[in-house]
């Protein structure tokens, strides 16, 4: 249904089971996924964390920072994203328990929208994130606009507080979603003013990195080594952002047979014994 119709699509109201959308294949909405008390508790937890003001709207990134300019979730190891807080891990586990996600989310973005703020039409980064995106809505209701770039179809979906939106299939891969930057939305009986809205979005990563381990002191202080490694990997790392880690067992005792890659230096893994040399996570 288009925004100009001035109606909210009724199929997204008052359902407590995942409700598929007839219009957008792969889109499901669960009303009241969180109780009002749980919404309040989640908002308090979120507001106790640090917000980033790098965009027009404030955001929090966990698990992996998403670079909006480069459309990349490669992550900057000089400023790694904090790990998922307990409240995000709990929700991620519940999504799997309820069969809404196959795998626990590894990346979470919290968005805050003050009245007048929105998010432009987009498909969440296809090379970065897995096949399911789930989003909890908190605070004020707003309309999310779905557009099919192929057929031009449109649907405005109301996102009520406590509801969960799950995008899979065409809803995740083809349709664009957006929230118009405006102060009110059209409702059945006129304009509905917006208040502050916060969303919590859950994603899996298509290219998880190896677990970061502390860089041992004798390697960390060797600036000459780090410098040369960084130089050697510059352009090729930039071109080939996603590299498959060599399994640890494949690294010969004398060290890796591939060049050190400074871009991944923060993911250095340590040797299996004191005698074994410390080797970087060698990505090919």
Ligand X SMILES: O=C(O)CCC(=O)C(=O)O
The binder of Fe ion chosen from 106, 124, 145, 185 (CB under 5 A): 124
Tokens at residue 246, please? 């060599």
Using CB under 6 A as the binding criterion, the count of chain residues that bind ligand X stands at: 10
Complex with Fe ion: residue 142 or 265, whichever CB lies closer: 142
| Max CA separation in the chain (angstroms) | 74
Residue from 1, 119, 121, 181 in contact with ligand X (CB under 6 A): 119
In the complex, what is the shortest distance from the CB of residue 199 to ligand X, in angstroms, rounded to a whole number? 3
Please enumerate in sequence order all residues whose Cβ is within 8 A of that of 11, keeping only pairs 6 or more positions apart, or say none. 19, 21, 22
| C-beta of 68 vs 242, nearer to Fe ion | 68
Residue 177 lies near ligand X (rule: CB under 6 A): yes
Composition of the chain by helix, strand, coil, percent to 5: 25, 25, 50
Q: Which of 163, 95, 160 is nearest to 133 (CA)?
A: 95
CB 34 within 8 Å of CB 95: no
Q: Which residues ranging from 74 to 113 are in contact with ligand X (CB under 6 A)? A: 109, 111
Determine contact, residues 277/237, Cβ cutoff 8 Å: no
Look at residue 204 and give the partner it binds from Fe ion, ligand X, none, a contact being a CB closer than 5 to 8 Å depending on partner kind. none
Of these, 201, 204, 268, 281, which contacts ligand X (CB under 6 A)? 201
Contact set with ligand X (CB under 6 A): 109, 111, 119, 124, 135, 137, 159, 177, 199, 201
Contact set with Fe ion (CB under 5 A): 124
């Amino acid at each position: 249904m288009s925004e100009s119709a001035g109606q909210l699509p009724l199929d997204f109201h008052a359902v407590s089971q995942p409700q598929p959308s007839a219009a957008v294949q792969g889109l499901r909405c669960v009303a009241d996924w969180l109780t009002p008390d749980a919404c309040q508790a989640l908002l308090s937890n979120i507001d106790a964390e640090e917000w980033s003001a790098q965009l027009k709207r404030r955001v929090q990134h966990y698990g992996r920072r998403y670079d909006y300019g480069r459309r990349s979730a490669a992550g900057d190891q000089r400023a790694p994203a904090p790990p998922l807080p307990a409240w995000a891990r709990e929700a991620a586990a519940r999504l799997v328990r309820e069969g809404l996600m196959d795998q626990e989310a590894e990346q979470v973005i919290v968005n805050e929208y003050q009245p007048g703020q929105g998010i432009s039409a987009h498909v969440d980064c296809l090379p970065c994130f897995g096949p399911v995106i789930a989003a909890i809505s908190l605070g004020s209701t707003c309309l999310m606009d779905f557009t099919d770039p192929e057929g031009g179809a449109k649907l405005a979906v109301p996102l009520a507080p406590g509801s969960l939106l799950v995008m899979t299939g065409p809803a995740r891969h083809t349709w664009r979603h957006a929230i118009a930057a405006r102060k009110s939305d059209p409702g059945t009986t006129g304009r509905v003013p917006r208040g502050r809205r916060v969303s919590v979005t859950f994603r899996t990563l298509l290219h998880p990195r190896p677990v970061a381990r502390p860089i041992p002191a004798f390697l960390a202080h060797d600036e000459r080594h780090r410098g040369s490694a960084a130089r050697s990997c510059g352009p090729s790392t930039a071109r080939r952002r996603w590299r498959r880690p060599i399994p640890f067992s494949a690294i010969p005792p004398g060290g890796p047979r591939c060049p050190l890659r400074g871009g991944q230096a923060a993911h250095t893994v340590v040797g299996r014994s004191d005698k074994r040399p410390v080797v970087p996570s060698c990505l090919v």
